[in-house]
A and B are shown apart, each in its own frame.
Chain A
């Protein structure tokens, strides 16, 4: 499991290129970079993996696939995907509006989209729990309809939607900016309808970046803890997400349980990172 050892990282390549030689005369940038990464990033990851590897495989598997863990994966991943997907639609729409139209409040809209990057997640959780509680601004409108948002799985969805929105907008926006308007105009002048222009001309080059944005938002939502722990009731099998499960295991001093589920999360982070890189490589082909 532990293929990335710190010692295999330094690639201080002696360059034959004379001007690179001048610049690589500052080796301490490498020293700082690799020491920092080794101690603060790689070492902790290795500690987690080794701790998990010391667990016999069958009991590892048993802990990783216990009913409560499985239900937490389902709640986390399905909800995160739903949140990222709905933002995939509305985030693309917002990016389109920002790039293509001029209107009053455009700069405001653009700045506000980044709010989830700037607002601490605990504050997001607090205010969402208030607004969507049964006597909150939005919650009180939905409560008579029998829809309960705060302290339920829908609350988790709302929090995940909040934190993942900017990822989609910010990923699609630059690609949309680079998209040549002439192509659309050409399609129109050739008699394509607006819907045809959208599905045949605009959407194909945007698809990789929309998917990248969804993957980034998904990966953020899956790992989210602060806002979700506050808005959810954290009841097993109902709205208990995996990060909260890890936290609860730690609180009970069940380090093995926390580690095993932590490794599952870590592996999923790596897989999403790989998927995001592949998607980005794909979108570069269009660029």
Chain B
């Protein structure tokens, strides 16, 4: 029995299709960027585009935009902790 007292938001087919189009465009962009010789920037741009895509999938497909504040804080917090772990590990590797 669905005991949830909140009205769940239902995504429309059109909105979902629009999201896919945006994701495919971003994919094209990230592939296209590799044909330019940008060296270290290529990494940064690829990761930024990937992060944007991830954010879109989480907020739209996974419905995070319509979920509770706690859930939003939780997922943000987890990414922050993971980023900190990588940064601190690099405090070793970068400065050896």
Instruction: Say whether A and B bind each other.
Output: no
